[in-house]
């Protein structure tokens, strides 16, 4: 992976009605990365990416997209950054072909929409009206429209929400394919499995701040209890022996079964303990913690205050501050 940042966000701040939605967020996205923005509801993910897109004006901080200021150099930014449309932005009666032709006309050097439609499996839907497309087909069209201007970067926000597992997996393959074609992807998601599978690095945003920024594996490693070991011992193990295990994050003894979380060191020490005490472990399982576990660990103090505020505080969702 090349190490040129194509997106730079530093000390970004944005408040709505005096309440901070984004509070000193900083990160950089390197060329060719799939960079994930992950966080609970109301964490400030959409506000952050809308500042990157130039749809919101930051209160403070600096945002650059390939060196451009997305607010003051909006037109130039739109040429390098493709953003996914919201469903409401496309007319129901427009056919897939019309939508592709219309959006291609916005750019001086658009991609040829025919191979793009082919790549996204839309060729046999060209004459179908937008309103008649399935959720997965609509998402594929949105991806096509985000890519039609041949951007270096594409922003995809909650792309697979509402899709069935098959369509979600197909969309993941498309995103990998987009990256393989050299496009940098900024992906906002709620889905841990999606983030774990696709993202090179993830910024976990919580209450308007970056709670952690790392690779998916790094986030898992840094959360307490990255490895889980469970077994049913042939005779009860001594609690003090279990509690003395190195790097132990948690221990539970339930219905004769022991479940421990910790690190590889914990696992090795359990095996030594079993051998030393001549105890047999039945149904021994060692599993990795998932990004889900890490996410809960990293955002565990989150309350839904921000979400509650949002229910009363939304003022301009339909009209973005900086018009496209």
Ligand X SMILES: Nc1ncnc2c1ncn2[C@@H]1O[C@H](COP(=O)(O)OP(=O)(O)OP(=O)(O)O)[C@@H](O)[C@H]1O
Residues that bind ligand X (CB under 6 A): 16, 21, 39, 41-47, 306, 309-310, 313-317
Rounded to a whole number of angstroms, the minimum distance from the CB of residue 313 to ligand X is 4
Considering the complex, state which of residue 157 and residue 297 has its C-beta at the smaller distance from ligand X.
157
The angle that helices 135-147 and 165-180 make with each other, rounded to 10 degrees, is 10
Q: Residue 247: how many CB atoms within 10 A of its CB?
A: 17
- Identity of the residue, 240 or 315, whose beta carbon is nearer to ligand X in the bound complex: 315
Task: Extract the tokens encoding 241.
Answer: 């022996």
Tell me how far, at minimum, the Cβ of 318 lies from ligand X, in Å: 9
Query: Quick one: 239 or 314, whose CB is closer to ligand X?
Result: 314
- Assess contact for 52 and 62: CB atoms under 8 A: no
Q: Is 133 left (phi over 0), alpha (psi -120 to 50) or beta?
A: beta
Residue whose tokens read 């005490």: 277
Measured from the CB atom, the residue of 49 and 90 that comes closer to ligand X is: 49
**Residue nearest ligand X, Cβ-based:** 310
Tokens of 180: 């393989």
Per-residue CA distances from 230 to 220, 247, 280, 281 (Å)? 19, 16, 13, 9
The residue written with tokens 């985000």 in the block is 146
Nearest approach in angstroms of CB 189 to ligand X is 9
Name the minimum Å distance from CB 50 to ligand X.
8
Best CA proximity match to 12, nearest among 63, 50, 49, 55: 63
Tokens describing residue 193:
């499995």
Based on CB atoms, which residue is closest to ligand X, 179 or 320?
320
Nearest distance from C-beta of residue 307 to ligand X, angstroms? 6
- Residue 233 beta carbon to ligand X: minimum distance, rounded to whole angstroms: 43
Question: Residue 16 or residue 107: which is nearer to ligand X going by CB?
Answer: 16
């Amino acid at each position: 992976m090349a190490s040129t940042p194509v997106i730079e966000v530093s000390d970004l701040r944005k408040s709505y009605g005096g309440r901070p939605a984004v509070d000193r967020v900083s990160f950089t996205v390197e060329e060719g990365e799939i960079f994930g923005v992950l966080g609970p509801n109301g964490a400030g993910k959409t506000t952050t990416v809308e500042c990157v897109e130039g749809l919101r004006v930051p209160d403070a901080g600096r945002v650059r997209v390939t060196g451009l200021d997305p607010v003051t150099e909006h037109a130039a930014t739109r040429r390098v950054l493709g953003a996914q449309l919201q469903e409401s932005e496309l007319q129901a009666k427009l056919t897939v072909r019309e939508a592709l032709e219309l959006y291609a006309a916005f750019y001086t050097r658009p991609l040829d929409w025919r191979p793009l439609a082919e790549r996204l499996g839309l060729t046999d839907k060209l004459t179908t009206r937008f309103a008649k497309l399935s959720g997965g087909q609509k998402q594929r069209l949105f991806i096509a429209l985000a890519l039609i201007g041949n951007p270096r970067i594409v922003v995809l926000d909650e792309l697979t929400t509402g899709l069935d597992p098959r369509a979600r997996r197909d969309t993941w393959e498309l995103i990998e394919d987009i990256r393989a074609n050299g496009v940098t992807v900024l992906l906002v998601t709620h889905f841990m499995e999606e983030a774990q599978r696709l993202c090179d690095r993830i910024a976990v945003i919580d209450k308007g701040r970056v709670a952690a920024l790392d690779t998916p594996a790094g986030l898992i490693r840094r959360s307490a209890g990255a490895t889980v070991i469970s077994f049913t011992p042939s005779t009860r193990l001594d609690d003090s022996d279990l509690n003395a295990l190195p790097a132990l994050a948690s221990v539970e003894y339930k219905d004769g079964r022991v479940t421990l979380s910790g690190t590889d060191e914990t696992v090795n020490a359990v095996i030594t303990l079993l051998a030393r005490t001549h105890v047999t472990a039945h149904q021994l399982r060692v599993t990795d913690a998932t990004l889900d576990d890490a996410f809960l660990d990293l955002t565990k103090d989150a309350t839904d205050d921000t979400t509650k505020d949002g229910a009363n505080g939304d003022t301009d969702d339909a009209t973005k501050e900086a018009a496209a």
